[in-house]
A and B are shown apart, each in its own frame.
Chain A
């Protein structure tokens, strides 16, 4: 049996990348994820690589269908993303990406809360470096904001983990109820990484500022690791239904108002994770299967969408709807792959989203969660509206921007073809994915009514899009989010507060100094008069001493200022 966690291959392999030549680096980038994948599949079910730390047991590898499903897609993602990023000049980004992917795999395989926390924090640091590696002033500011939110979330998680261990006496990471101090904090820590409200703006703030390839990786690991730990730790926690529904509609509404194509896709990550969080809240086997399947398919089509957006950015340097349009003429392959990704995220029949998302809404129907079901249906229509049509329409069609960039280099094309193929392959043959899910699947997505219903829903939302096109025209605007509080409100309030504090301080000091001067003048004057009349009644030694005291106090206050 192996005696190291599979994530270590990427985590430590990353540090080989800067020391080898370009060709060897390319081979490593493609080979390391595949080795990891092979290792993951060679592991039988069970717990391995345990370590005793003081009284506590660390389990670095817990291999079961659920962790295998997530680590499989993480490895495939690293492979395809690596292929896409082969011509990335920043080796720092590649190193950071591999550490990030390796720690994500490590976090998913962790069987205890302590090792989970360790990998969780490595992920936060590595993903910060992915954004930072762009090297611009903007990326520095963004990455620091990103790091602050994640350090805050990490601290909450750490306190939760410690409280939970003290409470239960065990480090094991198993299903919990959010009913104790520790478990509630753990839930909050997990939710911050899932981009749940109110701290969700970090995602749409940071991800679009990474490089053309960095964003592709970022979209996959942090939020989906959060989905995994929620799935593992809090299945059936009812509050997650409300949080998930909020995230779904937040993502749609903000994406509808957005002009930056990569930020549209970032908002739609929150939207898609919202579907998963809702499913975890429903908590039946059907729902949890649906969540796991949806996380798997989502990573593929979201990466595909960001790859096509990245290809546009790479070839044109532009990423605003208002600057783009008509690119289908010179970038046919990117257009087709982008459309495949857009159809998948909208869960069109014969694409991967169709066979995964419908399991979540079916689970809501099975549990007769009427309101949830209707909201999920409306949300499915909304996904088509904001990502399925809006993204390809404004980038590849609409008005002709006059830009005629060719398709990107071969490796980027190959990565997009690979993922587009997976989107359609999984959509046509869902049984392979279903066989990997944690619970047995007795669900048939392809029934005539289901296909007809979904087509009606989606095509009529498409119809709505074109009816409302005048209202959809993009403007050079952003939409304020919760981050306004810590980017604008809080700094302004603090600045004003300190200005007032300094002013009051200065006034007080001046007053005290004035009083002292008056005292001194008074004593000096009195002394003057007395010295004329009764000077012999006053010992001059005592007077000298009091003057010295007053002077010393005066001196002291002058120094303090």
Chain B
């Protein structure tokens, strides 16, 4: 058996490629759905086109970057407390 045959079908490069494409199509379809779905916004902005999509994306990127910045100051080796 060669190495590629041993690999589980889910992690073969071909499957991964299809998963990636499928995911992007799904994201696009979800945003398109905003053309047809008429929400009852609680405030103003959350009724606008694609609000939840960009809000989710932007806040997540912000949280990861914030965590990274915090890590610069507060990260230590995981053996930090070992001698206590």
Binding-face segment, A94-102, A455-463, A521-529: A455-463
Contact: A253 with B52, CB < 8 Å? no
Knowing A459-B30, A461-B60 are in contact, say whether A448-B68 is a contact too (CB < 8 A). no
Contact: B30 with A456, CB < 8 Å? yes
Contact: A452 with B60, CB < 8 Å? no
In whole angstroms, how far apart are the Cα atoms of A326 and B46 in the complex? 39
Q: Which A residues are in CB contact (< 8 Å) with B64? A: 256, 385, 464, 468, 471-472
Main secondary structure of the interface of A (DSSP, over half): helix
Contact: B26 with A479, CB < 8 Å? no
Knowing A453-B39, A454-B52 are in contact, say whether A467-B74 is a contact too (CB < 8 A). no
Contact: A456 with B53, CB < 8 Å? yes
Q: Which A residues are in CB contact (< 8 Å) with B55? A: 377-378, 381, 457
Assess whether A370 is interfacial by the CB under 8 Å rule: yes
Contact: A476 with B77, CB < 8 Å? yes
Knowing A459-B30, A476-B77, A478-B78 are in contact, say whether A471-B68 is a contact too (CB < 8 A). yes
Within residues 35 to 58 of chain B, which ones have a CB less than 8 A from any CB in chain A? 37-40, 42-43, 46, 50-57
Knowing A329-B8, A459-B26, A487-B81 are in contact, say whether A381-B59 is a contact too (CB < 8 A). yes
Q: Which B residues are in CB contact (< 8 Å) with A454? A: 52
Contact: A456 with B60, CB < 8 Å? no
1/0 per residue, CB under 8 A from B, across A459-493: the answer is 11101110110011001111111000001100100
- Which of B10, B37, B51, B67 makes the CB contact (< 8 A) with A448? B37
Contact: B57 with A460, CB < 8 Å? yes
Q: Which A residues are in CB contact (< 8 Å) with B14? A: none
Min CB gap B68→A, angstroms: 6
In whole angstroms, how far apart are the Cα atoms of A488 and B83 in the complex? 11
Knowing A253-B63, A453-B52, A468-B64 are in contact, say whether A461-B76 is a contact too (CB < 8 A). no
Q: Which residue of A lies closest to B33 (CB)?
A: A452
Assess whether A236 is interfacial by the CB under 8 Å rule: no
Assess whether A259 is interfacial by the CB under 8 Å rule: yes
Min CB gap B81→A, angstroms: 6
Knowing A365-B42, A400-B11 are in contact, say whether A456-B67 is a contact too (CB < 8 A). no
1/0 per residue, CB under 8 A from B, across A374-402: the answer is 00011001100100000000000100100
Min CB gap A348→B, angstroms: 13
Min CB gap B11→A, angstroms: 7
In whole angstroms, how far apart are the Cα atoms of A463 and B60 in the complex? 9
1/0 per residue, CB under 8 A from B, across A241-261: the answer is 000000001001100110110
Assess whether A449 is interfacial by the CB under 8 Å rule: yes
In whole angstroms, how far apart are the Cα atoms of A481 and B74 in the complex? 8
Assess whether A373 is interfacial by the CB under 8 Å rule: yes
Min CB gap B9→A, angstroms: 10
Q: Which residue of A lies closest to B7 (CB)?
A: A400
In whole angstroms, how far apart are the Cα atoms of A397 and B77 in the complex? 25
Q: Which residue of B lies closest to A141 (CB)?
A: B84
In whole angstroms, how far apart are the Cα atoms of A421 and B52 in the complex? 29
Contact: B81 with A460, CB < 8 Å? no
Min CB gap B43→A, angstroms: 6
Most chain A CB neighbours (cut-off 10 Å) among B23, B57, B65:
B57
Min CB gap B29→A, angstroms: 10
Min CB gap A444→B, angstroms: 12
Assess whether A328 is interfacial by the CB under 8 Å rule: yes
Min CB gap A403→B, angstroms: 13
In whole angstroms, how far apart are the Cα atoms of A373 and B44 in the complex? 13
Contact: A370 with B56, CB < 8 Å? no
Min CB gap A478→B, angstroms: 5
Contact: A463 with B59, CB < 8 Å? no
Contact: B8 with A477, CB < 8 Å? no
Contact: B56 with A479, CB < 8 Å? no
Contact: A478 with B80, CB < 8 Å? yes
In whole angstroms, how far apart are the Cα atoms of A373 and B45 in the complex? 12
Q: Which residue of A lies closest to B80 (CB)?
A: A478
Q: Which B residues are in CB contact (< 8 Å) with A458? A: 56
- Which of B37, B56, B75, B78 makes the CB contact (< 8 A) with A457? B56
Q: Which residue of A lies closest to B73 (CB)?
A: A480
Min CB gap B80→A, angstroms: 6
Q: Which A residues are in CB contact (< 8 Å) with B67? A: 252-253, 256-257
In whole angstroms, how far apart are the Cα atoms of A463 and B23 in the complex? 9
Most chain A CB neighbours (cut-off 10 Å) among B23, B56, B84:
B56
Min CB gap B28→A, angstroms: 11
Q: Which B residues are in CB contact (< 8 Å) with A487? A: 81, 84
Min CB gap A148→B, angstroms: 14
Using CB atoms and an 8 Å cutoff, list the residues of chain B in contact with chain A. 8, 10-11, 23, 26-27, 30-31, 33-34, 37-40, 42-43, 46, 50-57, 59-61, 63-68, 70-71, 74-78, 80-81, 84
Using CB atoms and an 8 Å cutoff, list the residues of chain A in contact with chain B. 141, 249, 252-253, 256-257, 259-260, 326, 328-329, 365-366, 368, 370, 373, 377-378, 381-382, 385, 397, 400, 448-450, 452-461, 463-465, 467-468, 471-472, 475-481, 487-488, 491
Q: Report the 6 A-B pairs with minimum CB-CB distance, sorted nearest first.
A: A464-B60, A365-B42, A449-B39, A460-B56, A456-B52, A378-B59
Apart from A256-B64, A381-B59, A464-B60, what are 6 other A-B pairs with CB-CB below 8 Å? Answer: A453-B52, A456-B56, A464-B61, A465-B60, A468-B60, A491-B84
Q: What are 6 A-B pairs with beta-carbon distances under 8 A?
A: A326-B11, A370-B43, A382-B60, A456-B56, A459-B26, A464-B57
